[in-house]
Structure 1
């Protein structure tokens, strides 16, 4: 399997495991599953989308000299229950032995990730594999300073489940991939009408608290204020592909604004198949009327329709099996007349442009921020 990638936030991929199983709505239109089925039986996917370990691929990064950001398991989930802890430890050993690279590990199974990476025996297993691969390699830091850990969250329900587990996992950098973003997401704590934010999450800025006991030169014990773990990076993206679900533009803006307020790097990956379609394409002054010929009017209308909206995404939702889905309506007006008709609050005009045409700009701007390497926010006892 080729290691190159077009994913905007990484340089290359590394897939020591392929295959997965679906755990939440974000998995419904999984691109990895589509690719695996297409090439099922090939060397890359010998078992289709069944979880498969590729032992020969684990050592590949040891041969990569040029520093790179490496997305680990773009075609699977490293912490899937069918991947043995022994194999995961070998993957971490290779990452430990290649500090020139920055590894981006993304999972929808943060419970197992937290359990393994907080376990003394797992760290010892990683050390054993390091010694096997590179005898006499010496000690190593934990958590690994070149490994970023992230979780995928597609809506508030799964954010509430996965983000706390991520923050409880030893890591130098923690990040979110909100792709595909299928519903509004509040990273500060949901707003209750009339009450503000009664339950803050501190996901973006870290929960304040007292640090460990310290002793000064006179033997007096004191504590300093500190902040707990926080998110260091947030990626947002809409869904692509023939069955893509649309992302409301306001969902992306809210996350961007909250990241900017907290000083957290924000990366807008893509709109996906659906993107904003501003319908203010003035054909004529409504107070004056059209002053040109009928042919010119028809041409102006065709041009505005080519650039206008065909659907609106609303804030209305329905709930089924604990999951919310949001309404998408086809517009009943031609785009060139919408500037007079207007849209009710909460609706956004969108159109199925296709991923390439929809682009990556959010309100006319690219957002390509990355986190800087940071020290662990808490020491993890192992």
Structure 2
């Protein structure tokens, strides 16, 4: 909970210089961090429960970690929460940059504050580097300090990955554009819990391309900065704008988990594959796909065994078959969509002549461990290079 090796599949360890948060969107409704904080409220790990709390003794911990690792920053909070000061965020970023042996993964739902903070930080780097150009001597202009300042100003730190959580199309449309405007070596999405379908490509309107600027997976084509060749001629080369470098998808776990439609995960997987973007399927969560029909015998010949064996076969099919259908139907309330399930009224082995309408999927509440991590029989564990 503080700093430790973790069971989160896409990282190696967590680092929590800050704990505590508040809810901002439907993806927060069943927050695992809040549940843990309430359980251990008053302990050293959570002295103030889930109130935003700075742990000064943890801020410099990465200096003591020798083995390179992927580090999930603030797994129990949001670094860009309004109650976390700019000074604290600056200190955390300074520590991350001072430990290039580690890869730090910063995930937020406060996209606007992250964008403004990082943009300002990068602008300050450029301003500092430019001051060396005005130094009175060539030795100062070409000093190691000047070289280091220019290198830092040229590109964001390679070991800091910045991401946003998006649970449905509404929040994808809001948070992803802000992420793409945020300077970062790697930009990533966590679509967990995935509570609705997300189109990462966006609709193409004939003659207008993608009017909502949703070249999120491929980068918007355009012109690069002006350059001058050896004859003094000024030109521009074609360039591709910022894009997503990594996408994580996962269903919700816990007693109040909302089910993820399998097609939602498949669509994102297929779009990432088409654009060459690494895709990581973290988990199904509490709910997962299940066979709609589990046959207990050949319908042409019927059951040939004993009554006891038939009862056992039926019990087995009920344990392996679907119990619910994800309809894909939704209702909207206060600008948010919620989806509902239909409980199957027949046993899986009695559905021989029943078919599911298009767009519906048979699922079952397996539990996180039993539902597993395979999407259509395959584990997806891709990371950015």
What's the TM-score, normalizing by structure 2? 0.89
* Number of the residue aligned with 1:76: 77
What SS does structure 1 have at the residue aligned with 2:89?
Answer: helix
Query: 1:112 maps to which residue?
Result: 113
Is 2:236 the partner of 1:235? no
Q: Partners of 2:46 and 2:237 in 1: how far apart?
A: 53
Classify the secondary structure of the residue corresponding to 1:119. helix
Residue pair 2:3, 2:13 contacting (<8 A) in 1 also? no
Q: 2:297 aligns with which of 267, 281, 284?
A: 284
Does the 8 A contact of 1:116 with 1:122 survive in 2?
no
Cα 1:215/1:198, change in 2 over 3 Å: closer
Indicate the residue corresponding to 1:90 in structure 2: 91
Alpha-carbon contact 2:200-2:217 (below 8 Å) kept: yes
State the match for 2:26 in structure 1. Answer: 25
Mean Cα deviation higher: 204-213 or 214-223: 214-223
Which secondary structure state, in structure 2, belongs to the residue aligned with residue 324 of structure 1?
Answer: strand
**Alignment match of 2:372 (pick from 344, 359, 370):** 359
Shift of 1:221: 1.7
Which residue does 1:324 correspond to in 2?
337
In structure 2, C-alpha distance between the alignment counterparts of 1:156 and 1:273, rounded to whole Å: 22
What is the alpha-carbon distance in structure 2 between the residues aligned to residue 339 and residue 202 of structure 1?
A: 44
CA distance in structure 2 between the aligned counterparts of 1:117 and 1:197, rounded to whole angstroms: 27
Instruction: Tell me: higher relative CO, structure 1 or 2? Use CA pairs within 8 A at least 6 residues apart.
Output: 1
Tell me how far apart the structure 1 counterparts of residues 213 and 113 of structure 2 sit (CA, whole Å): 26
**Contact 1:89 1:122 (8 Å CA) reproduced:** no
User: 1:279 deviation in Å?
Assistant: 2.6
CA shift in 2, pair 1:43/1:122, >3 Å = farther
Q: Does 1:211 align with 2:224?
A: yes
Tell whether the 8 Å contact from 1:117 to 1:123 is kept in structure 2 after alignment. no
Higher alpha-carbon deviation: 277-286 or 206-215: 277-286
Find 2:169's aligned residue among 146, 151, 156.
Answer: 156
Q: Deviations over 1:173-223 (max 9, x none)?
A: 00000000000010000479xx99775611000000011111222222211
Relative to structure 1, is the Cα distance of residues 325 and 57 closer, same or farther in structure 2, using a 3 angstrom cutoff?
Answer: same
**Alpha-carbon distance between aligned partners in 1 of 2:377 and 2:209, rounded to the nearest angstrom:** 31
Gap regions ≥5 residues in structure 2: 129-144
200 and 118 in structure 1: CA distance in 2 versus 1, 3 angstrom threshold: closer
Taking the aligned partners of 2:186 and 2:62, their CA distance within structure 1 comes to: 20
CA distance 1:242–1:166, change in 2 (3 Å): same
Q: Corresponding residue for 2:102?
A: 101
Q: Partner of 2:52 in structure 1?
A: 51
Alignment equivalent of 2:323, drawn from 303, 306, 310: 310
The 2-side partners of 1:339 and 1:289 are apart by 13
- For 1:5 and 1:250, locate their aligned partners in 2 and report how far apart those are by CA, in whole Å: 29
CA distance in structure 2 between the aligned counterparts of 1:70 and 1:122, rounded to whole angstroms: 26
Q: Name the CA distance, whole Å, in 1 between partners of 2:347 and 2:121.
A: 63
SS at match of 1:65: coil
CA RMSD of aligned residues (A): 2.1
Task: State the secondary structure of the residue aligned to 2:351.
Answer: helix
Query: Cα 1:226–1:110, aligned 2, differ >3 Å: closer, same or farther?
Result: same
2:288 corresponds to which of 275, 297, 307 = 275
In the alignment, the residues of structure 2 paired with residue 203 and residue 336 of structure 1 have an alpha-carbon distance, to the nearest angstrom, of: 44
Does the 8 A contact of 1:153 with 1:162 survive in 2? yes
Distance 2:352 2:95 in 1: 57
Q: Structure 1-normalised TM-score?
A: 0.90
**Equivalences, count:** 360
Question: SS at the partner of 1:56?
Answer: helix
Quote how far apart the aligned CAs of 1:234 are: 0.3
